[in-house]
Amino acid sequence: MTSANATSHGVVLRERSRIQLNNTAKEVSEAKGGRVQLSGLSKEYGGFRAVDHVTIDIAAGEFVTVLGPSGSGKTTVLMMIAGLVEPSAGAITIGGRDVTHLRPQHRNLGVVFQSYALFPHLTAAENIAFPLRMRRRGEAEIRQKVEDVLDLVRLPNVAQRLPGQLSGGQQQRVALARALVFDPPVLLLDEPLSALDKKLRENMQFEIRELHRNLGVTVINVTHDQTEALVMSDRVIIMQDGRVVQSGSPSELYERPKSNFVADFLGTSNFLKGELELQEAQRPDGWSLVTAGGLRCRVPESARGSKGRACLMLRPERIMLNSAAEMEERFEGRVAEIAYTGNIIRYRVALNDQEIVEVTLQNKPGHVPQASIGSQVTIGWNLEDVHIFVESTTD
Ligand SMILES: Nc1ncnc2c1ncn2[C@@H]1O[C@H](COP(=O)(O)OP(=O)(O)OP(=O)(O)O)[C@@H](O)[C@H]1O
């Protein structure tokens, strides 16, 4: 086959599965996603609290990702929802039904784990048919559903292959098809893409999002990959030491992190260090400012009147380099490092030869200044881009 033919064949296939996807989506979307409520959910292992009073209300049809560093309790939360770990306290309801003490097979949830967990001696089609056989569905229905779901996950030509004859990406699609074939109201994903290479992972992120949009199933996804969480989710829930520390849409979490932990975990942040004395001042324009060690920021309502230690945070992409004349804050510095990463150029700028600030610029004509290591530069930012986290109060 010539490459032109190969391309057009690929396009035809993709078109066909899209049509099928829409048809199947129509049928399945009648079974809407289920609401999932976790109330005061805790898990203790011998006195150690792995999950500590987690309360989350997930709307029917929502795509939620639980994100956090290793050991923060994400998987334990998912396992409790799946029924594979018994909670020490709290309750779980799915679609209004209390399932806290129900066995996993009675919860009617689709689950995809990091390792595909396919039966190696069964073909892709038989793996996918398995949940339907467990539910004693008729042969004709099984055949039709397996065919539909294989199209849905864009795998029409591998039905008769064994898992060992499939690539990692194809195996993960089979696992996804097996989790979706019985139209569950809720789909649980535990790092389902982590074994895939970067390109495939990025494609699958968009495909799973599209599937979610078309099916209306509620998705609860667990990951420690912040990009995956931001790309895929309606809402991200950040966990630290067994607790939920912040939850919100990807842009809310990135633009308005409530703590330096969240700011540091999600994206790159500059933390301007030091013991900062919070001193509020009322400016004629009504803005309240903190002035400490020469750094200023606007004090949010929640921090008004506080005194004590605080930390200032600034995202690297909000800092201007050598074109800072219009900026409210300006500092002289010296370029300590430059890293070229293709679309982005990262500069590390030393202020007063001690504080290092990272600045990222888009690699676009007119954006990148003539600066080399050792150059004197001016950097600047607007006060609204400085976040303040009050670490302790003395009052
Ligand atoms: N069966 C167990 N017995 C004892 N401690 C456990 C058990 N399972 C989990 N833990 C502990 O509970 C905490 C939370 O674990 P969990 O696997 O939920 O974290 P996680 O955020 O999913 O981490 P990772 O990203 O590494 O999978 C960890 O400190 C872990 O060591």
Structure token digits, residue 332: 């002289």
CA of 180 to the centre of ligand 1 (A): 27
Helix, strand, or coil here: 273?
coil
What is the pLDDT at residue 394?
Answer: 52
Q: Which residues contact 186 (CB under 8 A, 6 or more apart)?
A: 33, 34, 36, 81, 94, 108, 109, 110, 217, 218, 219, 220
What is the DSSP-derived secondary structure letter of residue 274?
S
Ligand 1 near 71 CB (within 6 A): yes
* Pocket probe mutation, ligand 1, options 52, 54, 70, 76, max atoms within 8 Å of Cβ: 76
What is the pLDDT at residue 272?
Answer: 79
- Give the pairing type, strands 63-67 and 235-240: parallel
What is the pLDDT at residue 17?
Answer: 36
The type of residue at 8 is S
Listed residue (205, 155, 129) closest to 16, CA to CA: 155
What is the pLDDT at residue 214?
Answer: 87
Banded pLDDT at 10 (limits 50, 70, 90): very low
pLDDT at 85 over 90: yes
Architecture of the domain made up of 268-393: Beta Barrel (2.40)
Ligand 1 near 43 CB (within 6 A): no
Ligand 1 near 42 CB (within 6 A): no
pLDDT at 359 over 60: yes
What is the pLDDT at residue 11?
Answer: 31
For the chain, domain boundaries? 23-260, 268-393
Lowest mean pLDDT segment, chosen from 75-84, 162-171, 278-287, 312-321: 278-287
Banded pLDDT at 5 (limits 50, 70, 90): very low
pLDDT at 220 over 70: yes
Banded pLDDT at 393 (limits 50, 70, 90): low
Task: Compute how many other C-beta atoms are within 10 angstroms of the C-beta atom of residue 388.
Answer: 23
What is the pLDDT at residue 371?
Answer: 83
- By alpha-carbon position, which residue is closest to atom 8 of ligand 1? 76
Task: Report pLDDT digits (tens) over 125-164.
Answer: 999 999 999 888 999 999 999 998 998 888 878 899 999 9
Ligand 1 near 72 CB (within 6 A): yes
Q: Residues of the chain with pLDDT > 90: what percent?
A: 53
> What is the full DSSP assignment across 342-362?
SSEEEEEEEETTTEEEEEEEE
Q: In whole angstroms, what is the distance from residue 386 CA to residue 171 CA?
A: 45
Task: Report pLDDT digits (tens) over 88-111.
Answer: 999 999 999 999 999 998 999 999
Lowest mean pLDDT segment, chosen from 16-30, 55-69, 268-282, 294-308: 16-30
- Ligand 1 atom nearest the C-alpha of 68 is 21
Helix, strand, or coil here: 232?
helix
Q: In whole angstroms, what is the distance from residue 361 CA to residue 369 CA?
A: 9
- Ligand 1 atom nearest the C-alpha of 222 is 22
The type of residue at 75 is T
CA of 175 to the centre of ligand 1 (A): 24
Ligand 1 near 68 CB (within 6 A): yes
- CA 332 to each of CA 230, 319, 322, 378: distance values in angstroms, whole numbers, following the listed order: 34, 13, 10, 5
pLDDT at 27 over 50: no
pLDDT at 233 over 80: yes
Best-predicted range by mean pLDDT among 69-78, 170-179, 326-335?
Answer: 69-78
What is the pLDDT at residue 192?
Answer: 85
Q: In whole angstroms, what is the distance from residue 204 CA to residue 207 CA?
A: 5
What is the pLDDT at residue 163?
Answer: 92
- By alpha-carbon position, which residue is closest to atom 31 of ligand 1? 71
What is the pLDDT at residue 285?
Answer: 61
pLDDT at 319 over 90: yes
Kindly report the average pLDDT of the chain as a whole number.
Answer: 84
pLDDT at 250 over 90: yes
- Ligand 1 atom nearest the C-alpha of 77 is 18
What is the pLDDT at residue 287?
Answer: 60
- The greatest distance separating any two alpha carbons of the chain, rounded to the nearest whole angstrom, comes to 77
CA of 70 to the centre of ligand 1 (A): 8
Q: Which residues contact 120 (CB under 8 A, 6 or more apart)?
A: 162, 163, 164
> What is the full DSSP assignment across 90-157?
EEEEETTEE-TTS-GGGS-EEEE-SS----TTS-HHHHHHHHHHHTT--HHHHHHHHHHHHHHTT-TT
What is the pLDDT at residue 53?
Answer: 97
263-280 in b/e burial notation, b at 16+ Cβ within 10 A?
bebbbebbbbeeebebee
More confident residue, 304 or 381: 381
Ligand 1 near 75 CB (within 6 A): yes
CA of 73 to the centre of ligand 1 (A): 6
Ligand 1 near 224 CB (within 6 A): yes
ipTM reported for the complex, 2 dp: 0.97
What is the DSSP-derived secondary structure letter of residue 70?
T
Banded pLDDT at 253 (limits 50, 70, 90): very high
CATH class given for the domain over 23-260: alpha beta
- Ligand 1 atom nearest the C-alpha of 72 is 21
Q: In whole angstroms, what is the distance from residue 225 CA to residue 236 CA?
A: 12
- By alpha-carbon position, which residue is closest to atom 16 of ligand 1? 73
First to last CA, the chain: 76
Q: In whole angstroms, what is the distance from residue 222 CA to residue 75 CA?
A: 7
pLDDT at 274 over 90: no
What is the DSSP-derived secondary structure letter of residue 31?
S
What is the arithmetic mean of pLDDT over 313-340?
Answer: 89
Lowest mean pLDDT segment, chosen from 249-253, 293-297, 315-319: 293-297
pLDDT at 66 over 90: yes
CA of 293 to the centre of ligand 1 (A): 41
- By alpha-carbon position, which residue is closest to atom 30 of ligand 1? 71
CA of 329 to the centre of ligand 1 (A): 44
Q: Residues of the chain with pLDDT > 70: what percent?
A: 82
